[in-house]
Amino acid sequence: MRRAAEHHIINPSPSTHTQASSVSSSLGSRQACELESKRPETMDLVNGALNWAAMPAMVASLLLFYPPYYLFKLCYSFLSYLFPDDLKRKVVLITGASSGIGEQLAYQYATKGACLALLARREWSLRQVADRAFELGAPDVIILPGDVADPDDCNRFVQATIDHYGRLDHLVCNAGIASVGAFQEIPDVTNYSPQLDVNFWGAVQSTFAALPHLKRTRGRIVVTASATGWNPVPRMVFYNAANAALINFFETLRSELGSEVGITIVTPGWIESEMSKGKFLKEHGGVEVDQEYRDAQIG
């Protein structure tokens, strides 16, 4: 009996094991809950400290960085104005050159003595612009009828420029179309694919084809976007989106290229052109003139 009693003391019953494990499990769960309850408090303290420190640090960095940065930009712009690039005999390829901004840029380059390659879909308009450019002083002008929405055309007109002149100094990505209409009123969003094909992908594909040649001459890309890329206006959702994409693409490309190729992004507001006179891409995808809407947009 004594041995049995001693054996019973040394080897607890299964029920004793169960109770012990239950107590251990309960203690573990309680500790886990306490740790979980402390984590949000710790995270709140960390976030609070970061919020308190980040704002003064950001303001201090802006105060230190922006004044010298803008002073540098001001001095650089002033020197660029005093000593502009010599464009005489430089080769300039302009897309969307048959009217509007592209046409006027062609005339400005012509007065500086640049050689021009003009691209647009309307050949007869290009011929008129080319004749005027000759009168203003361009030593040579070629016209390249084509559509920047077609990647093959983009490759073709860049190669045609190289074949004719042997070099490329400036690429002006100016081709663009606009659309009008509230998004919820659009019957089929695929009707607006040409907007992105021309305004965004046309500039991207032209740049891709021209970039190797621009690197050789340490040339420049000039991109005509729009102020709507920064401040969108109602009823032009795809036009706004295309310009925002265009701006961000070339801002990124500028940081990648560094000083190899210069990039100038132009974001004009309302100007006198076919688009501002009411020529838009309508809901069904066709081009129409809406003079009343033009007046409403411009005020």
Residue of 109, 165, 192, 239 with catalytic role: 239
Q: Report yes or no: 129 and 97 within 8 Å, Cβ to Cβ.
A: yes
Q: Report yes or no: 247 and 225 within 8 Å, Cβ to Cβ.
A: yes
Give me Rg for the CA atoms of the chain.
33
Show Cβ contacts of residue 194 under 8 Å, excluding neighbours closer than 6 positions: 149, 177, 281, 285
**What CA–CA distance (Å, rounded) separates 218 from 261?**
5
- Based on the residue annotation, tell me whether 239 is a catalytic residue of this protein: yes
Show Cβ contacts of residue 183 under 8 Å, excluding neighbours closer than 6 positions: 237
End-to-end CA distance of the chain: 110
Q: State the residue for tokens 């464009």.
A: 87
Report the candidate in 165, 219, 226 with the shortest Cα–Cα distance to residue 195. 226
Residues constituting the chain: 299
**What CA–CA distance (Å, rounded) separates 15 from 21?**
10
Strand duo 170-173 + 141-145: pairing: unpaired
Q: How many CB atoms lie within 10 A of CB 14?
A: 7
Count Cβ atoms within 10 A of the Cβ of residue 236 and give its class: 0-12 exposed, 13-18 middle, 19 or more buried: buried
Report the candidate in 229, 233, 261 with the shortest Cα–Cα distance to residue 248. 229
Instruction: Supply the residues annotated as catalytic.
Output: 239
